[in-house]
Structure 1
Amino acid sequence: MSEEKKVIVFALGTEEYGVEVEKVKTIERMQPLTRVPKSPEFIKGVINLRGVVIPIIDLRSRFGLTVDEYTDNTRIIIVSAGEYEVGLIVDAANDVIDLDESQIDHPPEVVGGIKAKYLRGIARIGDDRLLVLLNLDQVLNKQEINQLSEIEE
């Protein structure tokens, strides 16, 4: 029997992406960020969420996509990246769906300009919907996680 996964669906532009529910702590509305000097361009700053300082990454910037203005639909998805919590800025968080492992294919080398190393797979939903599943371990590599730990201290 195939394994089923619950996935949070979010949007970057016109594309839909997903991340496993068990890696998501919370989804927050966009809020003011405190910029951190000398951090990579895609790290937009930090927020204080219920007493915890959390680094915030703009996924559009991380993936080399055009960064748009934030809107009322913009969300910050707080995820676990190893032992750290990190916020991911996305255009919208839309849905929670169940995916069967048999619906997930290996990712092609590049999807919409995003390198395959950032992707866990492509899920087929029905006849006409594709969902790009993120590999959170690669979205943040070990060196960047170490930089984030320095920000939090």
Structure 2
Amino acid sequence: MGEEIKVIVFTLGSEEYGIEVDKVQTIERMMPITRVPKTYSFVKGVINLRGVVIPVIDLRGRFSLPEVEPTEQTRIIIVAVNDMQVGFIVDSASDVVDLNSDSIDSPPEVVGGIKAKYLRGVAKLSEERLLVMLNLSEVLNKSEIIQLEGLEE
């Protein structure tokens, strides 16, 4: 038997994605983002959250999905990746589910246009509901992390 893991469910377009709860620090409403020059197009800038400067990434841009205007539902999920905090802009963050790690299958090559290296796998929640699990360390690769760490200073 695999272990039970808690997962935060969020959406980008019509797809549902998951990040393990233990990697998520907080989920915030959309807030003003300070643009930073000379960064990747999907890096929207930085926010000051309770005195901490946090780089913010638009996951739609990261996954080459069409960008959309923020709505009431738009959220910034603050995650900890390799000892740094990063905010991910998502269309909505809906709920928390319990998953058995055995229910996560390895990802197909491309899911919804997103390359498999960004994905940890796909979990089947029910007959109709699949959850795409993100591989956070790949969503931010080493060179991007180095560039983002420069933003924090």
Letter in structure 1 aligned against 2:30 = M
Q: Which residue of the partner structure matches residue 85 of structure 2?
A: 85
Q: Which residue of the partner structure matches residue 45 of structure 1?
A: 45
1:141 corresponds to 2:137: no
Task: Report the number of matched residues.
Answer: 153
Letter in structure 2 aligned against 1:90 = V
Letter in structure 2 aligned against 1:130 = L
Q: Which residue of the partner structure matches residue 120 of structure 2?
A: 120
Deviations 1:71-122 (A, max 9, x none): 0000000000101000000000000000011211000000010000000000
Which residues in structure 2 correspond to 1:1-153 (within 5 Å)? 1-153=1-153
> Which piece of structure 1 moves more, 86-95 or 99-108?
99-108
List structure 1 segments (4+ residues) > 2 angstroms apart after TM superposition. Answer: none
Question: What stretches of structure 2 of length at least 5 have no aligned partner?
Answer: none
1:42 to partner: Cα distance: 0.3
Letter in structure 2 aligned against 1:9 = V
Letter in structure 2 aligned against 1:80 = A
Letter in structure 1 aligned against 2:132 = V
CA root-mean-square deviation? 0.5
SS at 2:66's partner residue?
Answer: coil
Partner Cα separation in structure 2 for residue 30 and residue 45 of structure 1: 13
Partner Cα separation in structure 2 for residue 139 and residue 127 of structure 1: 28
SS at 2:47's partner residue?
Answer: strand
TM-score (norm 2): 0.99
Letter in structure 1 aligned against 2:125 = I
Partner Cα separation in structure 1 for residue 117 and residue 80 of structure 2: 18
SS at 1:126's partner residue?
Answer: coil
SS at 1:60's partner residue?
Answer: helix
